[in-house]
Amino acid sequence: MKVGKTTAVQQSPLGVMIYATNMPPEQITRLPGEIDEAFNQRVETARAAYETKRREQELQFGNVDSVEIDDVAKLDLRVVTITEAKVHPNGDKLVVLQVNDGTGESRQIVAGIRQQYPVEKLVGLQIVIVANLVPKKLRGELSQGMLLAAKDNENRLAVLTPHQFVSPGSKVS
Protein backbone atom coordinates (compact mmCIF):
# COMPACT_ATOMS: atom_id res chain seq x y z
CA MET A 1 0.00 0.00 0.00
CA LYS A 2 1.28 3.50 -0.88
CA VAL A 3 0.23 6.23 1.50
CA GLY A 4 0.34 9.89 0.51
CA LYS A 5 -0.63 13.05 2.36
CA THR A 6 -4.28 12.82 1.33
CA THR A 7 -4.79 9.34 -0.13
CA ALA A 8 -3.83 5.72 0.24
CA VAL A 9 -3.49 3.57 -2.90
CA GLN A 10 -3.65 -0.24 -2.74
CA GLN A 11 -3.50 -2.85 -5.49
CA SER A 12 -6.29 -5.43 -5.22
CA PRO A 13 -7.55 -8.30 -7.41
CA LEU A 14 -10.21 -5.95 -8.81
CA GLY A 15 -7.72 -3.21 -9.67
CA VAL A 16 -6.47 -0.14 -7.86
CA MET A 17 -8.37 0.92 -4.74
CA ILE A 18 -8.10 4.56 -3.64
CA TYR A 19 -9.03 5.55 -0.12
CA ALA A 20 -9.35 9.19 0.92
CA THR A 21 -7.60 9.72 4.23
CA ASN A 22 -7.61 13.46 4.80
CA MET A 23 -9.33 15.12 1.88
CA PRO A 24 -12.35 17.46 1.72
CA PRO A 25 -15.22 15.57 0.04
CA GLU A 26 -15.41 18.02 -2.88
CA GLN A 27 -11.92 16.87 -3.94
CA ILE A 28 -12.75 13.16 -4.00
CA THR A 29 -13.56 11.88 -7.48
CA ARG A 30 -15.94 9.01 -8.20
CA LEU A 31 -14.42 5.60 -8.78
CA PRO A 32 -15.59 3.26 -11.56
CA GLY A 33 -18.63 1.27 -10.38
CA GLU A 34 -16.97 -2.12 -10.81
CA ILE A 35 -14.22 -1.20 -8.33
CA ASP A 36 -16.29 -0.21 -5.33
CA GLU A 37 -19.88 1.02 -5.66
CA ALA A 38 -20.26 1.12 -1.88
CA PHE A 39 -17.26 3.44 -1.68
CA ASN A 40 -18.82 5.73 -4.29
CA GLN A 41 -22.03 5.87 -2.26
CA ARG A 42 -20.03 6.77 0.85
CA VAL A 43 -18.28 9.53 -1.12
CA GLU A 44 -21.62 10.96 -2.23
CA THR A 45 -23.00 10.80 1.32
CA ALA A 46 -19.89 12.53 2.70
CA ARG A 47 -20.03 15.18 -0.03
CA ALA A 48 -23.71 15.90 0.73
CA ALA A 49 -23.03 16.12 4.49
CA TYR A 50 -20.05 18.41 3.85
CA GLU A 51 -22.14 20.71 1.63
CA THR A 52 -24.94 20.85 4.21
CA LYS A 53 -22.47 21.78 6.96
CA ARG A 54 -20.79 24.36 4.69
CA ARG A 55 -24.17 25.98 3.88
CA GLU A 56 -25.09 26.08 7.58
CA GLN A 57 -21.79 27.78 8.41
CA GLU A 58 -22.22 30.22 5.52
CA LEU A 59 -25.67 31.18 6.84
CA GLN A 60 -24.28 31.61 10.34
CA PHE A 61 -20.98 33.34 9.58
CA GLY A 62 -21.35 34.61 6.01
CA ASN A 63 -19.28 33.44 3.07
CA VAL A 64 -15.86 33.43 4.75
CA ASP A 65 -12.88 31.56 3.39
CA SER A 66 -11.09 29.37 5.92
CA VAL A 67 -7.54 30.21 6.89
CA GLU A 68 -4.78 28.09 8.34
CA ILE A 69 -3.38 28.75 11.83
CA ASP A 70 -0.08 29.75 10.19
CA ASP A 71 -1.90 32.63 8.45
CA VAL A 72 -3.31 33.88 11.75
CA ALA A 73 0.13 33.59 13.38
CA LYS A 74 1.48 36.12 10.85
CA LEU A 75 -0.67 38.87 12.37
CA ASP A 76 0.99 41.01 15.03
CA LEU A 77 -1.95 42.19 17.13
CA ARG A 78 -1.06 44.81 19.74
CA VAL A 79 -2.82 47.01 22.27
CA VAL A 80 -2.10 50.72 21.78
CA THR A 81 -3.27 53.88 23.53
CA ILE A 82 -4.71 56.74 21.48
CA THR A 83 -2.78 59.93 22.30
CA GLU A 84 -4.32 62.24 19.68
CA ALA A 85 -7.35 62.09 17.40
CA LYS A 86 -8.44 64.43 14.63
CA VAL A 87 -10.91 64.48 11.77
CA HIS A 88 -9.35 63.40 8.46
CA PRO A 89 -9.27 66.44 6.15
CA ASN A 90 -10.33 64.41 3.08
CA GLY A 91 -12.69 61.78 4.43
CA ASP A 92 -16.19 62.08 5.90
CA LYS A 93 -15.91 58.75 7.73
CA LEU A 94 -12.20 58.85 8.59
CA VAL A 95 -10.24 59.86 11.67
CA VAL A 96 -6.47 60.18 12.02
CA LEU A 97 -5.16 58.70 15.25
CA GLN A 98 -1.75 59.08 16.87
CA VAL A 99 -1.12 56.07 19.12
CA ASN A 100 1.44 54.99 21.69
CA ASP A 101 2.55 51.48 20.75
CA GLY A 102 5.15 51.12 23.50
CA THR A 103 8.14 51.72 21.21
CA GLY A 104 8.67 55.34 22.27
CA GLU A 105 7.69 56.61 18.82
CA SER A 106 4.20 57.67 17.78
CA ARG A 107 2.37 55.61 15.17
CA GLN A 108 -0.42 56.95 12.93
CA ILE A 109 -3.58 54.98 12.19
CA VAL A 110 -6.32 56.11 9.78
CA ALA A 111 -9.68 54.52 10.55
CA GLY A 112 -13.26 54.77 9.29
CA ILE A 113 -14.93 55.21 12.69
CA ARG A 114 -15.82 58.92 12.63
CA GLN A 115 -19.59 58.42 12.40
CA GLN A 116 -19.68 56.19 15.49
CA TYR A 117 -16.89 57.70 17.62
CA PRO A 118 -16.47 61.47 18.13
CA VAL A 119 -12.75 62.34 17.98
CA GLU A 120 -12.85 64.15 21.33
CA LYS A 121 -13.83 60.88 23.09
CA LEU A 122 -11.05 58.77 21.56
CA VAL A 123 -7.99 60.19 23.36
CA GLY A 124 -6.90 57.84 26.15
CA LEU A 125 -8.81 54.85 24.75
CA GLN A 126 -6.87 51.62 24.36
CA ILE A 127 -7.56 49.74 21.14
CA VAL A 128 -6.29 46.62 19.36
CA ILE A 129 -4.44 47.08 16.07
CA VAL A 130 -2.76 44.97 13.41
CA ALA A 131 0.75 46.33 13.92
CA ASN A 132 2.57 44.61 11.05
CA LEU A 133 0.28 45.74 8.25
CA VAL A 134 2.15 47.31 5.35
CA PRO A 135 1.81 51.14 5.72
CA LYS A 136 -0.52 52.71 3.16
CA LYS A 137 -1.75 56.19 2.35
CA LEU A 138 -5.49 56.61 2.78
CA ARG A 139 -6.73 59.81 1.16
CA GLY A 140 -3.32 61.44 1.58
CA GLU A 141 -2.63 60.36 5.19
CA LEU A 142 -0.25 57.52 6.01
CA SER A 143 -1.78 54.66 8.02
CA GLN A 144 0.71 52.46 9.87
CA GLY A 145 -1.69 49.74 10.96
CA MET A 146 -5.36 48.93 11.23
CA LEU A 147 -7.61 49.04 14.26
CA LEU A 148 -9.94 46.11 14.89
CA ALA A 149 -13.66 46.62 15.31
CA ALA A 150 -16.84 44.56 15.22
CA LYS A 151 -19.88 45.54 13.15
CA ASP A 152 -23.27 43.94 13.70
CA ASN A 153 -26.24 43.48 11.33
CA GLU A 154 -27.59 46.90 12.33
CA ASN A 155 -24.27 48.60 11.38
CA ARG A 156 -23.37 49.34 15.00
CA LEU A 157 -19.60 49.53 15.34
CA ALA A 158 -17.59 48.57 18.41
CA VAL A 159 -13.85 49.14 18.49
CA LEU A 160 -12.04 46.27 20.21
CA THR A 161 -10.57 47.32 23.55
CA PRO A 162 -9.00 45.35 26.41
CA HIS A 163 -11.18 44.67 29.45
CA GLN A 164 -8.66 46.43 31.68
CA PHE A 165 -5.70 48.74 31.14
CA VAL A 166 -2.54 47.04 29.83
CA SER A 167 0.84 48.46 28.85
CA PRO A 168 0.91 50.01 25.35
CA GLY A 169 2.46 47.53 22.94
CA SER A 170 1.10 44.45 24.76
CA LYS A 171 0.77 41.53 22.37
CA VAL A 172 -2.68 40.05 21.79
CA SER A 173 -2.68 36.27 21.53
How far is Cα 161 from Cα 148, in angstroms, rounded to an integer? Answer: 9
Residue 3: per-residue pLDDT: 43
Q: Are residues 20 and 39 in the same domain?
A: yes
39 and 118, same domain (yes or no): no
Where b means 16+ CB within 10 Å and e means fewer, 98-115 reads bbbbbeeeebebbbbbbe
Within-domain flag for 82? yes
The model's pTM? 0.62
In this predicted structure, what is the pLDDT of residue 110? 95
Q: What is the pLDDT of residue 46?
A: 83
pLDDT along the chain (173 residues), means of 10: 48 50 55 62 82 78 76 93 93 92 94 90 95 92 94 88 95 93
Domain range spanning residue 20? 2-61
CA nearest to 170, candidates 74, 75, 79? 79
Do 75 and 152 sit in the same domain of this protein?
A: yes
